[in-house]
Amino acid sequence: MMRSRLSMTETAVLPMIGALSLVAAWQWLVPALGIPAYIVPTPAAVLRTFATEWRFLLLNALPTWAEAALGFLLGNVLGVLMAVAFAYNPRLRAAYFPVVLLFNTIPVLALAPIIILIFGLGMLPKVIIAALLCFFPTLVNTAQGLNLATANELELMHVLSASGWETFWRLRAPRAAPLLFSSLRISATTCVIGAIVGEWIGSNQGLGAVIIQSTFNYQAERLFAAVVLASLSGIAFFALVAQVERMFHRLQPGG
C-alpha cells in the first residue's frame, strides 16, 4: 500500500500545530467546564507562574538536576563496568545476571523508601535511586551489545593476533555502541524520574518536593509549573545525550 508522503514543511509544522491546538483547547476548556483554578490552572496561568516564581523554581530544579546527572553518571558507569565483567567472565554472568534481572523487577516506587531508610535524607539516596533506573537498561543493553561480535569476527582478530584489549576496543565496543547509546537515551529521561521519586519521599527541596508540597497546599499553578519544568529537564537531558552521540559518530576514528 502506498501512502502519500508528507512534505518537509508538513513534518516540521504539523507537530507544532498539534501541540498548540491541545494547549489552546486546555486554555478554553478549563473555564468553560467551570473547573476551579486551584484544581487545574489554565496554560496562561502556569506560564505566569514561571514568570513570577522562576527564582523559586530554579532554586528547586538545581538539586534535582544535580541528583539526576550524578545518578546518570553513577548508574551508567556501573552498568557498563558490570556488562564488561559479564562479557569476559561467563561464569560470573551465569551466576549473577538472573539475580540482577530479578532485582530489576522491583518497582522503583517500592524500592525508594528502603533506600531512603538506608541512606537518610540527603542527596545521596536520590542519586542512588536515579542511578538504579539508569543502571539496568545500560547493563542489559551493553551486555547484549558486547556479545554481538560474530564468531568469524573473533576468529579474524585471533588470526591477526589481536590482544584482548584490541579485540575489545576495535571490535566488541563498536559493536555495542549503538545499543549503549540507546540505553543512554532512555537513562537521560529516567534519571530525572528517579531524582523526583526520591524527593517525593524524603526531601524539602527539589522539584519532587515542590510537586508534593504544592499538591497538599492546593497550589495548582506551582504544581503544574514544576511538572512542566521536570518534563523539560528530561527533554534537555535527552537532547544533550543525543548531541553527544552525534559527536561520537562524527569523531569515531574508524571504529
Partner 1 sequence: MRVLSDVDLIVGKGEFLTILGPSGCGKSTLLRAVADLLPTMDGNLSVFGRTPSEARSSREVAFVFQEATLLPWRTVRQNVTLPLQVGRKSISRPVEPKPDHWLDLVGLSHLADRYPHQLSGGQRQRVAIARALQCEPDVLLMDEPFGALDEITRDRLNDELLTIWRRTGATILFVTHSIIEAIYLGGRVLVLAANPGRVQAMIDLAPLKDENGFCRRESTNVQETAAHLRRLLQEGSLTA
Name 84's Cβ contacts closer than 8 Å, sequence gap at least 6. 142, 146, 168
Q: Does 167 bind partner 1 (CB under 8 A)?
A: yes
Nearest-approach distance from CB 155 to partner 1, in angstroms:
6
CB-nearer residue toward partner 1: 150 or 204? 150
User: Which one of 1-9, 50-58, 151-159, 205-213 is the stretch in contact with partner 1 (CB under 8 A)?
Assistant: 151-159
Query: Which DSSP helix (H) or strand (E) runs through 229?
Result: helix 220-251
| 156 contacts partner 1 (rule: CB under 8 A) | yes
Q: Total number of residues binding partner 1 (CB under 8 A)? A: 20
Does residue number 162 form part of the binding site for partner 1 (CB under 8 A)? yes
Distance (Å, rounded) from C-alpha 8 to C-alpha 65? 35
Q: Is the distance from CB of 128 to CB of 201 less than 8 angstroms?
A: no
148 makes contact with partner 1 (CB under 8 A): no
Residue 203 DSSP one-character state: -
CA distance linking residue 62 with residue 57, whole number of Å: 9
Question: Quick one: angle between helices 173-201 and 207-216, nearest 10?
Answer: 30
Regarding 153 and contact with partner 1 (CB under 8 A), the answer is yes
**164 is a site residue for partner 1 (CB under 8 A):** no
**Cβ nearer to partner 1, comparing 167 with 190:** 167
| Residue 52: all three cell numbers together | 513570577
* Residue 83, Cβ density class (10 Å: 0-12 exposed, 13-18 middle, ≥19 buried): buried
Query: Would you say 102 or 251 has its CB closer to partner 1?
Result: 251
Would you say 67 and 126 are in contact if contact means Cβ atoms under 8 Å apart?
Answer: yes
Q: Which stretch binds partner 1 (CB under 8 A): 33-41, 59-67, 170-178, 226-234?
A: 170-178
CB 91 within 8 A of CB 215: no
- Give the whole-angstrom CA distance, residue 34 versus residue 150: 63
Minimum Å gap between C-beta 247 and partner 1 is: 15
Phi, then psi, of 123 in degrees rounded to 5: -75, -30
248 counts as binding partner 1 under rule CB under 8 A: no
CB of 170 to partner 1, least distance (A): 6
Considering the rule CB under 8 A, would residue 150 count as an interface residue with partner 1? yes
Interaction of residue 179 with partner 1, rule CB under 8 A: no
Q: Is residue 142 close enough to count as binding partner 1 by CB under 8 A?
A: no
159 binds partner 1 (CB under 8 A): yes
Pick between residue 43 and residue 174 the one whose CB is nearest to partner 1: 174
CB of 28 to partner 1, least distance (A): 51
> Which H, E and C letters describe 42-59, residue by residue?
CHHHHHHHHHHHHHHHHH
List contacts with partner 1 (CB under 8 A): 150, 152-153, 155-163, 166-167, 170-171, 174, 252, 254-255
